């Protein structure tokens, strides 16, 4: 089984003495093996080298096997690594959003969600803007905090290609939210676009000064003189 191979490879490079601190930092109920990010990437590269990507269904099944069967947090990181494998690029179609939705909702913490939002969901949005735009607008009003955060931050790396109308529309339902992770997401998304058009973000912050939280305002304007 793929999960057993991944677990064996991670244990081989793990430093169990690091595991408690890693778990405490991430406030994770799931334990860690104690594997650093570079070693995790190397282990995944070795284990995944022999995998076949003959169909989207097979690739998705492999990702789900790792994600659902994980007992250690690095095993879920491995699932995210497999989800982003270059050989799976032809399978990155709108239908795969269901897979990422499962991972976002069940992962329910920033280390999983932020990677999935910016690299995976964001990639789908770049390639398939019409259906993904509809999906992100729906996610922005979801009862699930992490789907709303995803809708806000999925364009983090888009720069001048940012769909500003979509960004603002995804922020709007959370402007009055009290949740830290939504307030932080709003500020982060605005700050990233400020590198492209600082004047626009200043105007946005002024227009919404009474609704933006201090955290969101501070983050949005952090890199603007």
The Cβ of residue 11 has, within 10 Å, a number of other Cβ atoms equal to 15
Q: Are 112 and 40 in contact (CB under 8 A)?
A: no
Q: How far apart are CA 86 and CA 136, in angstroms?
A: 24
pLDDT tens for each residue of 132-175: 999 999 999 999 999 999 999 999 999 999 999 999 999 999 99
Per-position DSSP letters for 19-44, written without gaps between them: HHHHHHHHT-SS------HHHHHHHH
Is the predicted pLDDT of residue 225 greater than 90, yes or no?
no
Q: Do domains 1-91 and 92-225 have the same CATH topology?
A: yes
Tell me, what DSSP letter sits at residue 50? T
Q: Which two tokens stand for residue 136?
A: 């992100």
Residue 43 has a pLDDT of 98
pLDDT tens for each residue of 176-187: 999 999 999 999
Q: What is the rounded average pLDDT for all residues in the chain? A: 97
Residue 74 has a pLDDT of 98
Domain boundaries along the sequence of the chain? 1-91, 92-225
Residue 67 has a pLDDT of 98
Q: For domain 1-91, say whether CATH 1.25.10.90 is its number.
A: yes
Q: How confident is the model at residue 20 (pLDDT cuts 50, 70, 90)?
A: very high
pLDDT tens for each residue of 37-90: 999 999 999 999 999 889 999 999 999 999 999 999 999 999 999 999 999 999
Domain covering 92-225: architecture: Alpha Horseshoe (1.25)
Q: Are 191 and 161 in contact (CB under 8 A)?
A: no
């Amino acid at each position: 089984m793929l999960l057993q191979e991944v677990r064996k490879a991670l244990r081989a490079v793990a430093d169990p003495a690091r595991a408690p601190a890693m778990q405490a930092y991430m406030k994770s109920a799931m334990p860690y093996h104690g594997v650093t990010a570079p070693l995790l990437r190397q282990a995944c590269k070795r284990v995944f080298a022999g995998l076949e990507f003959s169909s989207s269904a097979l690739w998705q099944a492999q990702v789900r096997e790792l994600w659902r069967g994980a007992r250690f947090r690095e095993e879920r990181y491995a699932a995210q690594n497999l989800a982003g494998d270059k050989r799976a690029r032809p399978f990155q179609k709108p239908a795969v959003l269901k897979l990422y939705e499962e991972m976002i909702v069940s992962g329910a913490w920033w280390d999983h969600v932020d990677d999935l939002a910016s690299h995976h969901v964001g990639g789908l949005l770049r390639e398939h803007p019409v259906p993904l735009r509809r999906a992100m607008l729906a996610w922005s009003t979801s009862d699930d905090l992490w789907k709303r955060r995803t809708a806000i931050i999925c364009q983090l790396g888009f720069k001048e290609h940012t769909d500003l109308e979509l960004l603002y529309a995804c922020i709007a339902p959370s402007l009055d939210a009290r949740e830290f992770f939504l307030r932080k997401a709003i500020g982060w998304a605005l700050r990233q676009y400020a590198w492209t058009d600082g004047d626009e973000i200043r105007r946005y912050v002024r227009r919404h000064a009474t609704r933006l939280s201090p955290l969101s305002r501070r983050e949005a304007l952090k890199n603007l003189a």
